[in-house]
Structure 1
C-alpha cells in the first residue's frame, strides 16, 4: 500500500478528476483515489497520511444523499468519526467551489471537513491563501487563509494545475516525513 490515501466526494465528477490529477502528480507515494461513499471506516483509517476532497453543494453543504446524490458520500461518512480518534493522522483538504454563483458559501466543504477531522484529533495541514479569489463568505476561511486548497473549475480552471503543484510542494514533506 502507498503511504498517502486520497478520498473524495463528488456530484458531477470534477472532484474525482482533481483527485486523479493529484494522485498522478504524487506517483507511487499515493494510492489511486477512492470515492468516500465506497469505503469503510477501516479503509480510511488504514492511512496515516490522507488527502481528502469535496465540492461544496447548494447552500454550503457536503455531498450526500440529502442533497440529491444517488450514493453515499461525505454526509454519510463523517458521522462514523464521532467516536474515532484520528490522532496520528495527517490530513490535507482540497475543495471545489464557484465564487460567482455561490459567493456566500465558497468552498464551505473545506471548512466542514476540516472541523470534523480536527475535532477527531487529526493534524491538519495544507492551508492556502485567499488572495486571488473573489467571494463574500466561506466556512473554509481562517483569517486570510483557507483551511485547504480552494479550486474554482468554473471561473479559474487555468489556475488549477499551478495551484495544485504549489500546494503539493507545500504538503508533500509533511505527508511523507
Structure 2
C-alpha cells in the first residue's frame, strides 16, 4: 500500500481525532495527516491514495476550513488517484442534512478523474436526507459522535479494513 494523505477540517477537534484514528489503523508509517487550514494543492498531489474528512455544521454547512480548501482540491491534479471520504454529523438534530459536508466534497471531486472508494451502507443510520447518499449508499464513512459514538470504533475499523483492499 502506497503512502496515504489524510486531509481533515476540524473546528472542535472531533474530525481531527477521527483522522488520527484512521491514521493509526492504517499505520503511521503508511499515512500522514494534514489540517486543511494549512494544506495546499501540492500537498494533495504527493499522494496516490487520499482521504478527505470533514464535519457538517448547522443545516448542511461544510466545516469552515474545508470550505476554503475546496479551491485547493479544485486546483489539484487528481488524475488516477484513489480518494475516500469520511464525514461527521448529527443524524437526529439535523436529519435533513446528515453529513452533507461529505456530500459537498464528493461533488467537488466530480470531473477530477479520480477513483472514489470507501462507500458504505446506510444501514444503522436514521436520517431523512443527505447530500452524501448516492444510489442508496453513503459516499464514504459517516459518523455520528453525538448519538452513536459507541459505534465509531467498529465503523472506523471496518472501513479502514476495506480501504486497505481498495488502495494500491
TM range (shorter): over 0.9
For 1:84-128, what per-residue CA distance to the aligned partner results, in whole angstroms no more than 9, with x for missing partners?
Answer: 431111110010000111100000111111111233222100001
1:158 corresponds in structure 2 to 150
Aligned-pair RMSD on alpha carbons? Answer: 1.3
2:4 corresponds in structure 1 to 4
SS of alignment partner, residue 170 of structure 1: helix
Greater helix content = 1
Q: Is the 8 A contact 1:118 1:124 kept in 2?
A: no
1:80 corresponds in structure 2 to 72
Query: How many residue pairs get matched?
Result: 166
Q: CA deviation at 1:46?
A: 0.9
For 1:123-154, what per-residue CA distance to the aligned partner results, in whole angstroms no more than 9, with x for missing partners?
Answer: 10000100111111000001321000000000
Q: How does 1:111-130 map to 2 (within 5 A)?
A: 111-130=103-122
For 1:25-76, what per-residue CA distance to the aligned partner results, in whole angstroms no more than 9, with x for missing partners?
Answer: 1112212x11111112111111110111000111211111xxxxxxxx1111
Greater strand content = 2
In structure 1, how many angstroms separate the alpha carbons of the residues matched to 2:52 and 2:130?
18
Q: How does 1:1-177 map to 2 (within 5 A)?
A: 3-27=3-27, 28-31=29-32, 33-64=33-64, 73-175=65-167, 177=168
Q: CA deviation at 1:18?
A: 0.3
Q: Is the 8 A contact 1:7 1:35 kept in 2?
A: yes
SS of alignment partner, residue 10 of structure 2: coil
Unmatched tracts of structure 2, length 5 or more: none
Q: Is the 8 A contact 2:42 2:76 kept in 1?
A: no
Q: CA deviation at 1:79?
A: 1.9
